[in-house]
Chains A and B, each alone.
Chain A
Amino acid sequence: MKLTRRDFAAGIAAGIVAPHIISSARAQGATLKIGMCAPVTGPAAESGGYAIKGAKLALEAVNKAGGVMGKQLELIVEDDQTTNPGIVLAFSKLASQPDIVGFLGSIRSTQVHAMAPDVLKLGKPVMIGGTDPNLTHMGNQWLFRCRPNDSYSGSVIADYGVNTLGKKKWAVLHSTDAFGTAGGKALTESLTKLGSTPVLDQGYANQSQDFTPVVLAIKQSGADILGSYFTFENDLGIFGRQLRQLGVNIPWVGSPSIVNITALKLAGPALYGTFGVADYAEDSSEASKAFGKIYRDAVKVAPDNQSSWTFDAINVLSQAIKTANSTDPGKIREAILAIKKFAGAEGEYNFDQNGDGLHGYNIVKNEKGTIVFDKHIESNG
C-alpha cells in the first residue's frame, strides 16, 4: 500500500486528536457535574470559603454512599467575585458546559436577581440561598431555595419580638440592596399585621464606614426594640459597636447575618444578648447536629448558614436526580418540587410549587459569644 502525503497528514492529525476525544468522552461520562457560583474573592470571600466547604462535605458523603445514578458527583466552582457582574460571568462560564446538570447560585439575593434571566434562558435547576421572597415568585421555575425566605424571617422576627419579648415600638434597619429592602419590607408588613407599625424604618447603603446618624435616629425614635437586615458582616460589626458606644441597649433581633461567624468575630461583645433568626441552628434537629459534627471535624470552625445551605443544596439536588433517575432538567425540577419531609441541616424540607423548601426559622440568642438555640417558629406569613 502506498502511503500518500494526505494519508500521512490525516494519520498524524488523528493520532494527536484521538486521545483528547477519548479522554474527554470518558470524563463526560464518568461524573455528574454540579456547577457552583461562589465568592472566592471580594468582600464575601470568607463566607464563600465556608459555602464551598459545605458543598464539598455533602458531595463527599453522596459519593461515599455510591454517588448518583451510579456516577460520582463533581463540583465545578466559579468565582462570582461577590459582585453582580461577577456572578453573571461565573454562571455563563458554567452554563456553557452542557454536561453540568444542576447549579448552586448565591446566598445573596441581589446576585440571584442578576443571574436569574440567564437561569431562565438555560432552563436547568439552580439551588439558591438568597432570601428575597420575590426570587421564587417572579415566574422563574428554575430557582429552588434552600433557605427560608424573608417573608418568613420577617414574620418570625415580628412574632418573637412582639409575642415573646413583649415589645411594641420597633425600629427597622435594613440594607438598601435587594435582600435588605425585601427583608425590611417583610418585617414592617408583619409588624403592621401584629398592630405594631414601626416607629422608624431606616435603610443604609452597604459598606458604610459610619453609622452614627443611624444610631442617633434610633435613639431619637424612642424605639424599644430593633429589627435588622444586614448584608455584610463588617457593616454589622461597625454598627453594633457604635450602637453600644452611643448607649442604645434595647433588645435587637436580627436577620441571619447577626449570628454569622465573621460577625461574631468582628463585633464581639457588642452583639452579646442579641437575638437572631437563624435558618441553621446546631441544636435545632438531629440532622443539624449531624452536619455540625462533620463540619467541625473537617473545617475546625463552628458551622453557620453559609455552609449549611450549600450542604443541603447538594443533598436536595442529588436526591432529586436519584428520584428522577434522569438528568433531564424538567424531570429533576419535578423531583425537587415533590420533596417532602426531607431532613436537612437547615430544617425539614417541604418544597412548595414556588420552589421554597423551608418555611420557618429558628430563634437563637448570643450568650457571651455562644449561639444558643431558643425555639423554632414556623411562619404563618
Chain B
Amino acid sequence: MMDIVLQLLFTGIGIGAVYALVALGFVLIFRATNVVNFAQGEFSMVAAYLMVVFSVDLGWPYWLSFLLSLGGMALLGVIFNLGVYYPLRHRSFLPVIIATIGASILMANSVLAIYGPQPQVLQGWFDTPGIQLGPVYLDSQYLLIIAVTILLVIFNYWFFERTMLGKKLQATSQDKEMASLLGISVSTMIMITFIYSAVLGGLAGILVAPVLFVSIQMGSTIALKAFAATIIGGFGDVTGAIIGGLALGVIETFGAAYISVPYKDGFAFLVLIFFLVFRPQGIFGERVAEKA
C-alpha cells in the first residue's frame, strides 16, 4: 500500500513540477504587465521542437542543443515582447490577451507548417530511463524535472530578493510609474521578463518532451493545467505558482488512482472552481482590496 502511495506521490510531484515551471512563466509576465500570456504553453512546444531540430535532425550534442534551444527561446521572448506586447502596451489588458492568443495560434500553426503534424521522439538527458528505489520506480526524466524545479525556486528567491536586477524587476511589477521615476527602464525590465518567461516555458517543454513526446498540442495541454495552478497558487505569486503546480499534479494523480481515472482532469478543475469560489486570490495571493 505504502509503495503505491510513494509511487503516486513521485509521479504527481514530477508532473506537477512541469505545471509549476510553466505557471512560473505565467506569473512573471502577469506581475510585469498585468496580462495573462496565453502563448506560454506554445513557448514549451517551440522549445521542444527546437531540441528536435538541433539534437535529432542535426545530430548535435544534447547539451549544445539544449543551450541553443534556450537561446532560441530568449530570442523568441524578445520578438514576442516587441511584436505582441509592446505595440499594445498602452491599451487595456483585453487586446493584449487576445494578441497572446493570436500569437499562440500563429506559433502552433507555424510549427505545423514547417515541421508537419508528426509527433516526434526526443531522448532524455540520461541513458538510464530510471532507477528502482525499493518498491518505487523513479523515472530519471521526472527526477531531473523535480531537481530543476527545486533549483529554480532557489534561483528565483536569490534573483528577486538578492540582486539589483531582480529588485528592479519587482519594482517594475509593483508600480511601473514609481519605478520609472526612480530611473528604472520599465520597457527593458518588461523585455527581460518576457525573455525569462520564454526561457522558463522552453525549459519546461524540453524537460517534459521525452516523457510526453513532442507534438503541436503539447503546449496547450500543459498550459491549461499550469493556468489552473497559477490561480490555485495565487495569480502573481512566484511561490504560489510552484506550490499550485505541485499540488495540482499530486491531486490529479491521487484522484485518478483512488477515485476515477477518466475524470482525472476533472479533479484539477474542481479544485480550480473551489478556489475561484471560496478563495479567488489563491493560496498565497492577497485580496485585490488589500493591495497597497
Contact = CB atoms under 8 A, between A and B. Distances in A.
- The answer to whether A and B assemble together is yes
Band of interface residues on B? 20 to 34
Nearest to B222: A209
B15 interface: yes
Interface in B104-145: 112, 116-119, 121, 129-130, 137, 139
Contact of A216 (B8, B116, B129, B139): B8
B67 interface: no
Given A43-B217, A213-B256, A205 B264 contact: yes
20 contacts: A42-B117, A43-B217, A49-B117, A203-B261, A203-B262, A204-B261, A204-B264, A205-B265, A209-B221, A210-B15, A213-B261, A214-B261, A216-B8, A217-B261, A220-B4, A238-B211, A241-B129, A245-B129, A245-B139, A246-B137
Nearest to A205: B262
Interface string A189-228: 0000000000000111101111011101100100000000
A75 interface: no
A234 B7 contact: no
Given A234-B212, A234-B215, A245-B137, 6 more contacts: A48-B117, A204-B262, A207-B221, A210-B11, A210-B253, A262-B119
A42 B8 CA distance: 31
B214 to A, nearest CB: 10
Interface residues of A, number: 34
Contacts of A234: 119, 212-213, 215
A266 to B, nearest CB: 6
A343 interface: no
Among A48, A209, A268, chain B packs the most CB atoms within 10 A around the CB of A209
Interface string B1-20: 00010011001000100000
A285 interface: no
Contacts of B261: 202-205, 213-214, 217
A174 to B, nearest CB: 10
A41 B112 contact: yes
A46 B221 contact: no
A245 B11 contact: no
A237 interface: yes
Interface string A238-253: 1001000111000000
Interface of A: 41-43, 45-46, 48-49, 176, 202-205, 207-210, 212-214, 216-217, 220, 233-234, 237-238, 241, 245-247, 262, 265-266, 268
Of A42, A48, A212, A216, chain B has the most CB atoms within 10 Å of the CB of A212
A203 B212 CA distance: 20
Leading 3 A-B pairs by shortest Cβ distance: A45-B117, A213-B257, A213-B256
A162 to B, nearest CB: 25
From B112, B119, B130, B253, name the one whose CB has the most chain A CB atoms within 10 angstroms.
B119
Contacts, number: 84
A216 B136 CA distance: 11
| Central interface residue in A213, A214, A268, by most chain B CB within 10 Å | A213
A223 B15 CA distance: 27
Nearest to B254: A213
Contacts of A48: 117
A294 to B, nearest CB: 22
B4 A266 contact: no
Contact of A233 (B4, B8, B11, B119): B119
A233 B263 CA distance: 20
Nearest to B4: A216
B13 to A, nearest CB: 11
A46 B117 contact: yes
Contacts of B263: 205
Contacts of B4: 216, 220
A45 B257 CA distance: 32
A46 B129 CA distance: 27
A203 B256 CA distance: 11
Given A43-B215, A246-B137, A213 B253 contact: yes
Interface string B247-260: 00000010011000
Contacts of A241: 129
A216 B262 CA distance: 15
Contact of B118 (A46, A209, A213, A246): A46
Contact of A266 (B8, B119, B264): B119
B127 to A, nearest CB: 14
Contacts of B129: 241, 245
Contact of B213 (A49, A220, A237): A237
A216 B253 CA distance: 11
A208 B213 contact: no
B213 A207 contact: no
Contacts of A176: 262
Interface in B14-37: 15
B144 to A, nearest CB: 15
A202 B264 CA distance: 13
A212 to B, nearest CB: 4
Contacts of A266: 119, 121, 213
Contacts of A268: 121
B265 A238 contact: no
Contacts of B118: 45-46, 262
Nearest to B258: A213
